[in-house]
């Protein structure tokens, strides 16, 4: 069975995020989240009524591989900048693989603050080694 998958999970602007920098087995997707505005049960019949917002939004978590070097982190940051729409709002334009529709979807996303955990300094190679970095995305 052929699919539309082109070998990447997310693309910032026109730059694919390289799979070799990802810990694929840690990456998570909550596709097409529905937002419930109101829910209630009828007092007599106990039938449930739900009022749901029409838009569906996807949330994702991408984790980088362990022992990421400073140079690799800079490459990742440069790839992400290719999709930057608004630096102050941390708004990016991306294309991502939607697990519910099994298709790529374009969207504007917000990336919450990223925590960088330094594991050690590699004096031999004059670089910093980082723990896995979580990059969360929330669709606008």
* Predicted pLDDT at 2: 80
Residue spans of the domains in the chain: they are 10-139
Amino acid 138: pLDDT: 97
Other Cβ atoms within 10 Å of 137 Cβ, number: 19
Q: Could you tell me the fold of the domain covering 10-139?
A: Elongation Factor Tu (Ef-tu); domain 3 (2.40.30)
Q: What residues contact residue 122 under an 8 Å CB cut-off, 6+ apart?
A: 69, 128, 129
Closest alpha carbon to 109 in 129, 82, 136 = 136
pTM of the model: 0.89
* Contact of 130 with 73, CB cutoff 8 Å: yes
Give pLDDT tens digits along the chain (140 positions).
789 999 999 999 999 999 999 999 999 999 999 888 898 898 899 999 889 888 899 999 999 999 999 999 999 999 999 999 999 999 999 999 999 999 999 999 999 999 999 999 999 999 999 999 999 999 99
What's the token pair of residue 100?
A: 């519910």
Per-residue pLDDT, 120: 98
Tokens of 123: 């004096």
pLDDT at 76: 98
Please report which helix (H) or strand (E) contains residue 79, including its range.
helix 70-81
Write out the two tokens for 116: 């960088």
């Amino acid at each position: 069975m052929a699919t539309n998958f082109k070998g990447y999970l997310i693309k910032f602007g026109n730059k694919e995020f390289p799979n070799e920098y990802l810990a694929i087995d840690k990456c998570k997707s909550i596709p097409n989240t529905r937002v419930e505005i109101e829910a209630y049960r009828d007092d007599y019949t106990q039938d449930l009524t739900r009022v749901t917002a029409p838009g569906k939004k996807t949330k994702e978590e991408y984790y980088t591989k362990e022992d990421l070097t400073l140079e690799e982190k800079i490459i990742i940051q440069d790839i992400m900048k290719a999709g930057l729409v608004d630096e102050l709002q941390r708004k990016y334009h991306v294309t991502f693989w939607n697990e519910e529709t099994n298709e790529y979807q374009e969207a504007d996303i917000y990336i919450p603050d990223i925590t960088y955990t330094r594991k050690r300094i590699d004096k031999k190679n004059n670089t910093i080694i980082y723990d896995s970095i979580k990059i969360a995305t929330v669709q606008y």
